[in-house]
């Protein structure tokens, strides 16, 4: 499956909803893990690509010494604006940048970090090659990517709800992009094409928690480009999509506190 322009557009109300709902629901547990791994490498400099609203940036800023510069980039300036508004415990250099054409020289960074961003890159070997180019010899490209829908219970549930209300043309963003790059052999092939050899790949299972089924539904339907796809079919049905997702989540997990399985690959590739 290929990405479309709407798949990578995080604008309008999406950045705020992303930070409010998606970050605590899905990203915070993996951000803590990725930041710990980055800190364990004792880097002298760090570049983050596809930083979003800065959940990993904040975690790294609190774990890395203040003397270690962090440059955090994203293709979408509105996401970086939200990240900067939330803030970090120490200064971070926020810069809009395309991961497939990084505006940096060769061999500058000790670690390049990317949390749940690689799935959005239209040309993954090219983006990986750019990450390798800006790494110093011995540096590490550290990233994670979601496993398939079947291993991520909330995403699977939301997809099923949307299938039911758009039976003729269901939005497939979740299946196509966030959960569309989960085959380990494909990841390894793309890294090899970029010049990385023998990456370390680990499966990491965590719990996805929300205060309510509605919060979880809002996270997916308003805080991701899934919103773009729903509205492209019928803008007036966005509320109906949220309601259907909420009902499906409540049926599976209960209408109160939601606790669901999520699973991802964590990848470390040395230059």
Cα–Cα distance, 120 to 38 (Å, whole number): 22
Res 4: pLDDT:
53
3-state secondary structure of 225: coil
Q: What is the pTM of this model?
A: 0.93
Q: In this structure, are residues 124 and 208 in contact, taking their beta carbons and an 8 Å threshold?
A: no
Res 3: pLDDT:
53
Res 7: pLDDT:
52
Domain range for 60 is 5-270
Other Cβ atoms within 10 Å of 92 Cβ, number? 22
Cα–Cα distance, 175 to 21 (Å, whole number): 20
* Tokens matching residue 90: 């120490």
pLDDT along the chain (271 residues), means of 10: 56 83 95 98 98 97 97 95 96 97 98 97 98 98 98 97 94 94 97 96 97 95 91 93 97 94 98 96
Cα–Cα distance, 238 to 249 (Å, whole number): 17
* Tokens matching residue 121: 């890159």
Res 2: pLDDT:
54
Cα–Cα distance, 209 to 24 (Å, whole number): 8
CATH number assigned to the domain comprising residue 75: 3.40.50.150
Which residue in the block uniquely carries the two structure tokens 């479309």? 4
Number of domains making up the chain: 1
Res 15: pLDDT:
86
Which residue in the block uniquely carries the two structure tokens 């990084």? 102
Res 99: pLDDT:
97
Res 255: pLDDT:
79
Strands 135-146 and 109-115: parallel
Which residue in the block uniquely carries the two structure tokens 């440059």? 71
Residues 6+ apart with CB under 8 A from 70: 46, 48, 57, 60, 61, 64, 92, 93
């Amino acid at each position: 499956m290929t990405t479309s322009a709407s798949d990578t557009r995080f604008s309008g109300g999406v950045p705020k909803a992303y930070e409010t709902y998606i970050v605590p629901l899905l990203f915070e547990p993996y951000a803590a893990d990725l930041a710990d791994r980055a800190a364990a490498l004792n880097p002298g400099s760090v570049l983050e690509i596809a930083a979003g609203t800065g959940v990993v940036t904040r975690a790294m800023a609190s774990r890395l010494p203040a003397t270690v510069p962090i440059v955090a980039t994203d293709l979408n300036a509105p996401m970086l604006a939200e990240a900067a508004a939330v803030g970090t415990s120490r200064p971070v250099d926020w810069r809009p940048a395309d991961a497939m054409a990084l505006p940096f020289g060769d061999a500058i960074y000790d670690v390049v970090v990317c949390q749940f961003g690689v799935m959005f890159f239209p040309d993954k070997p090219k983006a990986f090659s750019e990450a390798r180019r800006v790494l110093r010899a011995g540096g590490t490209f550290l990233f994670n990517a979601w496993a398939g829908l079947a291993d991520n219970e909330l995403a699977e549930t939301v997809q099923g709800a949307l299938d039911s209300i758009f039976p003729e043309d269901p939005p497939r963003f979740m299946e196509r992009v966030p959960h569309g790059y989960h085959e380990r052999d494909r990841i390894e092939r793309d890294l090899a094409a970029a010049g990385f050899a023998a990456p370390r790949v680990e499966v990491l299972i965590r719990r996805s928690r929300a205060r309510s089924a509605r919060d979880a539904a809002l996270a997916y339907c308003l805080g991701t480009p899934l919103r773009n796809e729903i509205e492209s079919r019928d803008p007036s049905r966005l509320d109906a999509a949220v309601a259907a997702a909420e009902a499906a989540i409540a049926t599976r997990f209960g209408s109160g506190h939601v606790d669901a399985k999520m699973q991802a690959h964590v990848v470390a590739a040395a230059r």
